[in-house]
Amino acid sequence: MNRANASVRERTAVDPINACILLLNLEGGRFGKHRDLAHNQTEVLTPHGMKLITKAFKDVNPLEFEIYIDPQGDRLSCRVNRIISPNIYTCWFHAVEEEGSLFGDCTCGVPRVDGIPCRHMVAVCKSKKIVGLNENNIMPLTYHTSLWRKQYPTGVSVTCVSNIETLRRASNPSNKFRLCPAISAPRKAGRPKVMKRIKSSQELAMEKHVETKKAAKIGLHDGSKFAEKADGGGKKKVEVMAKEVDAKKTKQVESPRRSRRNKK
Ligand SMILES: [Zn+2]
């Protein structure tokens, strides 16, 4: 390591344990921030959920839709079609709230893919044909503040030791379990030899890339001089060699008989 590298390392390098401490501190701070946000949220939906539902409800006019409600057991099935379109969609809602949500599905596929109510479900909600269905319970549980609060419960906080010295003073290491990652193992001085060097993932990927390129090139010229060199030529050689070996064997087998005949 030259002088310039050494000075950069002195200024910027962090040992793995200190790096873990920094990461834990960061995560602890993040957890506390989200916990406070979740418990200070006054709306039923999370801020992101509010944004999504506002966007979904925008530009949907229930008067443009024909809606038929058909209760089926624990589901409320709705046949919805836009007056100007021949397409008919069937969407459904839960008849009873499940943790504050009535969110179901629609045959248009949008709720399954995007996880938010489609325009057909929104039209049903805006038409007020289902009693109790509103902007909050039409959304899936994912966007409910109640679930957000469950993820960040009150009274839970992530604390972390501030530095390695505190950790050393506060705890006794167990000699039973020791981790020795490859990076911490001693290495011989100097640059390792090419054959012994551990190749990086990028180098391996490049080698693979070149191989596949070569293979593709041979495949493209199949039947031409390339293919002959690569495959056909080799086959011909093998065939010629096999014929030669066969010829030798037959000679060996035939030669004693021939010698006897010649004697006769
Ligand atoms: Zn739909």
Distance of alpha carbon 226 from alpha carbon 97, whole angstroms = 69
CB 144 within 8 A of CB 5: no
Phi, psi of 81 (to 5 degrees): -145, 145
End residue of a domain, out of 125, 143, 161: 143
- This prediction's pTM: 0.56
Give the per-residue pLDDT at 160: 73
Question: Is 175 among the domain residues?
Answer: no
Question: What is the whole-number distance in angstroms between the Cα of residue 89 and the centre of ligand 1?
Answer: 6
The SS3 of residue 81 is: strand
Question: Is 192 among the domain residues?
Answer: no
Largest CA distance in the chain: 118
Question: What is the whole-number distance in angstroms between the Cα of residue 264 and the centre of ligand 1?
Answer: 101
Give the per-residue pLDDT at 143: 95
Question: What is the whole-number distance in angstroms between the Cα of residue 42 and the centre of ligand 1?
Answer: 30
Give the pairing type, strands 75-82 and 88-94: antiparallel
Give the per-residue pLDDT at 198: 73
Question: Is 7 among the domain residues?
Answer: no
Q: Residues in the chain with pLDDT < 50?
A: 223-231, 259, 263-264
Dihedral sign of CA atoms 69, 113, 119, 55 in order: positive
Nearest CA-CA partner of 55 in 120, 119, 108, 99 = 119
Question: What is the whole-number distance in angstroms between the Cα of residue 81 and the centre of ligand 1?
Answer: 9
**Same domain (yes/no): 55, 126:** yes
Question: What is the whole-number distance in angstroms between the Cα of residue 146 and the centre of ligand 1?
Answer: 26
Question: What is the whole-number distance in angstroms between the Cα of residue 244 and the centre of ligand 1?
Answer: 75
Domain tally for the chain? 2
Question: What is the whole-number distance in angstroms between the Cα of residue 158 and the centre of ligand 1?
Answer: 42
The SS3 of residue 101 is: strand
Question: What is the whole-number distance in angstroms between the Cα of residue 122 and the centre of ligand 1?
Answer: 9
Question: Is 190 among the domain residues?
Answer: no
Give the per-residue pLDDT at 158: 81
Question: What is the whole-number distance in angstroms between the Cα of residue 135 and the centre of ligand 1?
Answer: 16
pLDDT digits (tens, 9 = 90+) for 123-145: 999 999 999 999 999 999 999 99
Q: Give all strands (DSSP E) within the chain, no chain letters.
A: 65-72, 75-82, 88-94, 105-106
End residue of a domain, out of 143, 175, 209: 143
Question: What is the whole-number distance in angstroms between the Cα of residue 43 and the centre of ligand 1?
Answer: 26
> Which are the contacts of 101, defined by CB distance < 8 A and separation ≥ 6?
94, 137, 139, 140, 141, 144
Question: What is the whole-number distance in angstroms between the Cα of residue 92 and the centre of ligand 1?
Answer: 10
Distance of alpha carbon 138 from alpha carbon 42, whole angstroms = 18
Give the pairing type, strands 105-106 and 88-94: antiparallel
End residue of a domain, out of 98, 113, 143: 143
Question: Is 246 among the domain residues?
Answer: yes
**Same domain (yes/no): 139, 206:** no
The SS3 of residue 252 is: helix
Question: Is 152 among the domain residues?
Answer: no
Distance of alpha carbon 102 from alpha carbon 144, whole angstroms = 12
Question: Is 256 among the domain residues?
Answer: yes
Question: What is the whole-number distance in angstroms between the Cα of residue 140 and the centre of ligand 1?
Answer: 15
Question: What is the whole-number distance in angstroms between the Cα of residue 97 and the centre of ligand 1?
Answer: 20
Domain hosting 139: range is 47-143
Question: What is the whole-number distance in angstroms between the Cα of residue 117 and the centre of ligand 1?
Answer: 7
**Same domain (yes/no): 51, 139:** yes
Question: What is the whole-number distance in angstroms between the Cα of residue 111 and the centre of ligand 1?
Answer: 7
> Which are the contacts of 155, defined by CB distance < 8 A and separation ≥ 6?
none
